[in-house]
Amino acid sequence: NAAKLAADAGIQVLNGKKNSTRDAIIYGAALILWQQKRYPDVQSASQAVTKTIDSGLAKAHFEKAQQPS
């Protein structure tokens, strides 16, 4: 199932895997943040997204969201 494969690939990125999926996630998130005027350019947005993934903050946020409220 394509959705499951995509979700699994995203989880692998949160777990530290560096591949083209990671690049696509970073680029997509950076474009959104830049378009929302949260960063002055795509490069600085990309650096922020990369830092958030590499620090484990993105994974922690994802895991917290998975817990029942």
pLDDT greater than 80 at residue 23: yes
CA–CA separation, 68 vs 29, rounded Å?
A: 26
pLDDT greater than 80 at residue 69: no
pLDDT band at 7 (very low <50, low <70, confident <90, very high): very high
pLDDT for 59: 97
